Amino acid sequence: MGKAFPEIKGLMGFGSLRLPLIESGVVDIEQTNKMVDLFLDSGFNYFDTSHNYIGGASEKAIKTCLTDRYPRDRYILGNKLSRAYFNCKEDIRPLFESQLEICGVDYFDFYLMHSQNRQRYQKYKSQGAYDTALELLEEGKIRHFGISFHDKADVLEQILNDYPQIEVVQIQFNYLDYESASTESKKVYELCRKYNKPVFIMEPLRGGNLVNHLPEEAKAEFDKLGDPTQSPATYALRFPGAFEGVETILTGASSPEQIAENISAMKDFQPLTDKELETVWKVRDLFKAQDMIQCTACRYCQDVCPKNILIPDIFACLNNETAFTSWKWSTEVYYHEVLTLNGNKASDCIGCGQCESNCPQDLPIRDLLKTAVAEFEEKEREKIK
Ligand code: SF4
Ligand code: SF4
């Protein structure tokens, strides 16, 4: 079957949530230019951004590294309407116009209602977001209208029934989430097929966890396949590619080396063989046996935290403690001497809960921060006593 959007070249998209940074919130333009060049030179052309990615720096980098440097017909650009930036219908158009200006374009190829779940959908619907997006579609300011989605299949079904005009659904889909009872990726994907909606894939590496937090036994399973051209990242990226209706798989590369690795997996795409798939399921089971916090480092929580707590970084510390028990001391040093050196400790949390309502993975952030306090701060106090 052909592609629903033939203008999208290849099966891989350029995600811009995890661009390389010089320091917090400052994108490394030189590295990003290299990544953009490599990606386009390899025949791919779909770019994805959002107003809230990297605190606004992602859209700006898209202009500097992509739209200022390449003609409009060299790339396809998707953007999103994010919840934190509007409170009523009247807010949406000025926001949209500012997004066009920041990105340096006069239309978006795709415009998605960002991170829809049961609660957010009600806000978007009641505040006229869907209606405004459909008007923008009529006016040609967006070429295609869709949603990105983080909830269970029944919520998606309601949205698709209410708005049959939706042309594409971006879903979280990877071998870890595939049969997960909380993400329901398989069910959500199957629903997209039932409603004949093309699918964009996000989080194929689950925020890098399927590379950075694979246990040694899982890596050994991949090694047993004996293919030096493949890696944990390439196996994970190839997993969604075999599913019908998948138009693009967004990779969140953070360096030219990572994007080159991803290109090697996706340029002449081959679906996983039966043997590779069997290994992937074994790896999934080994990964799940670890008790990891399922944070994808999207940083949506941090954007709304009044205490500016580096939540995903603190969770990465807790995950490192779980994965690398012999390195506990170095994680503790990192927590105190790098991460929270200038404040913003886990114990600064005031329990307002804003982070939790913004977390697409539904993580109990406040409780997890209490674990971090116990693990890193109270133990430290004990040592001082
Ligand atoms: S509950 Fe704590 S971590 Fe979450 S937004 Fe409020 S202060 Fe920040
Ligand atoms: S805690 Fe949730 S919102 Fe925050 S970075 Fe992790 S997955 Fe994203």
Distance CA 314, CA 340 (A): 9
pLDDT at residue 383, rounded to an integer = 58
Centroid of ligand 2 to alpha carbon of 72 (angstroms) = 33
- Ligand 2, atom 7, lies closest to the CA of 295
Give me the tens of pLDDT residue by residue for the chain, a chain 385 residues long: 679 999 999 999 999 999 999 998 899 999 999 999 999 999 999 999 999 999 999 999 999 999 999 999 999 999 999 998 999 999 999 999 999 999 999 999 999 999 999 889 999 999 999 999 999 999 999 999 999 999 889 999 999 999 999 999 999 999 999 998 777 899 999 999 999 999 999 999 988 889 988 999 999 999 999 999 999 999 999 999 999 999 999 999 999 999 999 999 999 999 999 999 999 999 999 998 888 898 998 889 988 999 999 999 999 888 878 765 555 566 777 888 778 888 889 999 999 999 999 998 999 999 999 999 999 998 766 655 5
pLDDT at residue 216, rounded to an integer = 93
Which ligand has its closest atom nearest to the C-alpha of 348?
1
- Ligand 2, atom 6, lies closest to the CA of 295
Q: Would you call 219 exposed, middle or buried from its count of C-beta atoms within 10 A (0-12, 13-18, 19+)?
A: middle
Distance CA 155, CA 152 (A): 6
- Testing ligand 1's pocket by substitution, the residue of 344, 369, 370, 371 carrying the most ligand atoms inside 8 A of its CB is 369
Strand partners, 246: 199
Pick the CATH number of 12-289 from 3.40.50.300, 3.30.70.600, 3.20.20.100, 3.30.365.10: 3.20.20.100
Residue 249 near residue 240 (C-beta atoms within 8 A): yes
Would you say how long the chain is, in residues? 385
Pocket of ligand 1 (CB under 6 A): 305-307, 309, 311, 349-355, 365-366, 369
Distance CA 11, CA 86 (A): 33
Q: How do the domains of the chain map onto residue ranges?
A: 12-289, 300-384
Sort residue 122 into left (φ over 0), alpha (ψ -120 to 50) or beta: alpha
- Testing ligand 1's pocket by substitution, the residue of 295, 345, 349, 373 carrying the most ligand atoms inside 8 A of its CB is 349
Centroid of ligand 1 to alpha carbon of 369 (angstroms) = 9
Distance CA 12, CA 249 (A): 5
Strand 12-15 relative to strand 46-48, pairing: parallel
Centroid of ligand 2 to alpha carbon of 347 (angstroms) = 18
Distance CA 264, CA 185 (A): 26
Residue 207 CA: nearest ligand 2 atom is 7
Centroid of ligand 1 to alpha carbon of 23 (angstroms) = 23
